[in-house]
Structure 1
């Protein structure tokens, strides 16, 4: 009988001390899982992913995209020339910020007909700049000589940025004469 009392007392002591400790350890594990999931949810969306999310939200072709803080601003031109500015959050959620219902089909005809779209231009720029990430891309048809090209800004691991031009027909990458080596993460043009 005395042995059963001692075993019962020992079991009660283990449960009294071990219960809160086990609960604390379980909570710590849950917190770690929650923290990991929260960190994953805040993972930065790449330019390519932002482009995909914007086009899924508002079908058409990307005219431009740039990163402003943690948000991507993507200008999408529909096949009929109507356009929308789509914001893509760090979680990859796309929302329409502004739309222009003017029918500018003729103005955007070269962009819509381009063989090399924004996504292909980004891929070409990255292939020519190993280890870099795309920071912005713009369709440029206002050049003095009337040529059209993609202006892709890439950012190297050391924080330097540079612009490259991508031909919308061939996908050929050339260095821009307007390279920028600032470390500013925000677009000052907004």
Structure 2
């Protein structure tokens, strides 16, 4: 339910389509000009794109690089996910649906917070992870029915996004909170990073706020490994 991804996709289509998608990107009250403000948290380039001498170690090196990047981002963010959500809601009224710590192309680190406002209006708010100040925002109208699905998922819920972020913080540094409204078990998805950058996925119950480990990702990884094994065997 990360609406910022949708917004970025629309913007990319506008460039690729020679203006065809420009009208879509401009739908609603667009105050994205304020998003030009630079984040106070700038990440250093660790030359992660350098060629490796031995291709056999690529996966291992990439995993180490990812963990190093996750650790750097988590440590650099002085503002928690819960505080970022609070700041975003102070700027745009509505219901917070997701918050994600995101590194931009210019090296800046920001919190992207998605808020469902009145009349099926979506706000994507960028919050500085160093100061907690709002850097900018983008507004668009719902066109794919996400608003109705979100409203149905949150109907009667006792745990909001800020509550979920606070609950998951007991497991590590929260780097994202997102509404899981696709499964039968309604919950918040939360991701945390340890001091060494290891990522963990959690489910936060919409009613009780109880935090449990999310086993679905590890299960998918195991299935992928099994498929690879089967493919290797079939080639013999």
- Whichever of the two has the greater Rg, that structure is 1
Contact 2:121–2:139 (CA<8 Å) still a contact in 1? no
TM-score (norm: length of structure 1)? 0.63
Conserved? CA contact 1:79–1:112, under 8 Å: no
* 2:136 equivalent to 1:136: no
Of residues 155, 158, 180 in structure 2, which corresponds to 1:115? 158
1:148 equivalent in alignment to 2:186: yes
Q: Deviations over 1:148-185 (max 9, x none)?
A: 110000111121110100110111111101457xxxxx
**Which residue is equivalent to 2:200?**
162
Q: 1:92 aligns with which of 132, 137, 146?
A: 132
Give 1:59's aligned residue.
Answer: 93
Point out where structure 1 has 5 or more consecutive residues left out of the alignment.
1-40, 181-190
Q: Which runs of 4+ in 1 moved over 6 A?
A: none
5+ unaligned residues in a row in structure 2: which ranges?
Answer: 1-39, 42-75, 104-108, 219-236
More helix by share: 2
Aligned to 2:124, the other structure's residue is in SS state strand
Figure out how many residues of one structure are paired with residues of the other and give that number. Answer: 135
After superposition, the CA RMSD in angstroms is: 2.3
Distance 2:189 2:198 in 1: 16
